[in-house]
Structure 1
């Protein structure tokens, strides 16, 4: 399974929201450059696949999943958007605290490539179709710049919203 990292992480409340992948954004992976084509996640989002939300790609550090409705994924013009309900566990509280402080490195996603799902031109790869397995909150450095995670509560809190606007 391949993994890719992205960078934007925001926090407000008991829900994390943002982007796990951005379309058209370049990432340097080993000795090649990679981009994601719009629609690359569409098939994964249509099926009944259970996609996980993890911390640092560690399956023992589960935050949410699509099967239970605690993780919601969609594609828009910008990329792969997500919203996850943060569990009231030590892991959830830790991730939320880090996101609220702006200390998280970003987001990432784990995937496999089906036959014909990517194209190569020299050292440039375009992901056209991926089988999405998981999205991860990452503590360190993501590969893709510009993705985001924000924590949101059901009731907006002005101080956190102001802090977010100052970082954008």
Structure 2
């Protein structure tokens, strides 16, 4: 049975993406530790649009936590709002299945890319926003309805762990 809860990973630690064709980027495990300890009011939006709020930690409609895979979220959506109906509809149909996040970098490390683009590893950041989006910068992010999210989350963890083993991380 599907209810009005969307869950997933807004960030998967260690996965790389290319930013604006200029550099590669990844988020290090533990990058959210400090900011989550400070308990910021994190807002969940649709496509980074601050006029389309779906939930927030201050209202207890959004929860976020770090685990060994990445930044996990659980969002209780209000199906009586236009944004809520849109989120529930597009995520349940899997038209939208990824996430992005708004942040400010506090600490980062850079590596020369050699014949590849330089690599930025973000080790500490201030988190202020998560967003559901059809075009995530990090394609390994996930968003799914809770009834299927458990299965999807386990499959995603297996894929992530296989990638990490292949890279010698696990």
Per the normalisation by structure 1, the TM-score is 0.81
Q: Which residue of 2 aligns with 1:15?
A: 5
1:43 and 2:34 equivalent? yes
Q: Which residue of 2 aligns with 1:59?
A: 50
Greater RCO between the two (CA within 8 Å, min separation 6)? 1
1:24 and 2:24 equivalent? no
Q: What is the CA distance between 1:145 and its match in structure 2? A: 2.0
Q: Which residue of 2 aligns with 1:125?
A: 120
Considering fraction of residues, name the structure with more helix: 2
Q: What is the CA distance between 1:68 and its match in structure 2? A: 1.1
Distance (Å, rounded) in 2 between the aligned partners of 1:97 and 1:62: 16
* 1:51-72 Cα deviation digits (max 9, x unpaired): 1000111111000001111100
Counterpart selection for 2:142 from 133, 143, 148: 148
Distance (Å, rounded) in 1 between the aligned partners of 2:133 and 2:62: 16
Counterpart selection for 2:82 from 74, 81, 90: 90
Runs of 5+ consecutive residues of structure 1 not aligned to the other structure: 1-11
Q: What is the CA distance between 1:147 and its match in structure 2? A: 1.2
Query: Superposition RMSD on alpha carbons, in Å?
Result: 2.0
Q: What is the CA distance between 1:146 and its match in structure 2? A: 1.4
Counterpart selection for 2:130 from 132, 135, 152: 135
SS in 1 for 2:58: coil
Report if aligned partners of 1:45, 1:74 keep a CA contact under 8 Å in 2.
yes
Between 72-81 and 98-107, report the one with greater CA deviation: 98-107
Per the normalisation by structure 2, the TM-score is 0.80
Runs of 5+ consecutive residues of structure 2 not aligned to the other structure: 113-117, 157-170
SS in 1 for 2:86: helix
* Matched length: 146
Report if aligned partners of 1:73, 1:82 keep a CA contact under 8 Å in 2.
yes
